[in-house]
């Protein structure tokens, strides 16, 4: 669902959009190295999703509200945290959608 060319962390980028269930903030996570791209207007702003305790799930990088689920990317939980393309596009991040998703939703990236 993501256009990987914009992102560069571990070299094996396996990326997913995330969306805070509380405030709606959208960011990107790499499954491989747990890097969070916390500000999609400035991809140099990064954090780690890693927490050392199952009792302390990660929190939204914008509102700091802790996730209800430590294993937020597992089946059965992930749907609470992954936005749909119609949520990503009006937030201004349509250019990060995969080519297939951009075509499907009529998003044409502007030159950067």
In a domain, 44, yes or no: yes
Under 8 Å between Cβ of 29 and 35: yes
Can you tell me the distance from the alpha carbon of 22 to that of 65, in angstroms, rounded to the nearest whole number?
A: 7
- Once rounded to an integer, what is the mean pLDDT over residues 28-56? 94
60: confidence class by pLDDT, cuts 50, 70, 90: very high
pTM: 0.91
Residue 111 lies in a domain: no
Cβ-Cβ contacts under 8 Å for 93 (sequence gap 6 or more): 17, 26, 40
What's the total number of domains in the chain?
1
- Measuring CA to CA, which residue among 63, 33, 62 is closest to residue 49? 33
pLDDT of residue 109: 64
Domain holding 18, by residue range, is 4-104
- Residue 92 φ/ψ, nearest 5 degrees: 95, 15
- Cβ contact 80:65 at 8 Å: no
């Amino acid at each position: 669902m993501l256009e990987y060319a914009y992102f560069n962390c571990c070299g094996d980028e396996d990326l997913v959009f995330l969306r805070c269930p509380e405030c709606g903030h959208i960011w990107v996570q790499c499954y491989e190295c747990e890097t969070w791209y916390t500000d999609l207007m400035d991809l140099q702003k990064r954090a780690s999703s890693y927490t050392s305790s199952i009792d302390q799930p990660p929190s939204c990088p914008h509102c700091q509200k802790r996730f209800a689920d430590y294993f937020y990317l597992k089946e059965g939980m992930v749907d609470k945290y992954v936005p749909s393309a119609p949520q990503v596009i009006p937030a201004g991040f349509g250019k990060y959608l995969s080519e297939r998703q951009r075509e499907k939703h009529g998003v044409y990236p502007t030159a950067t």
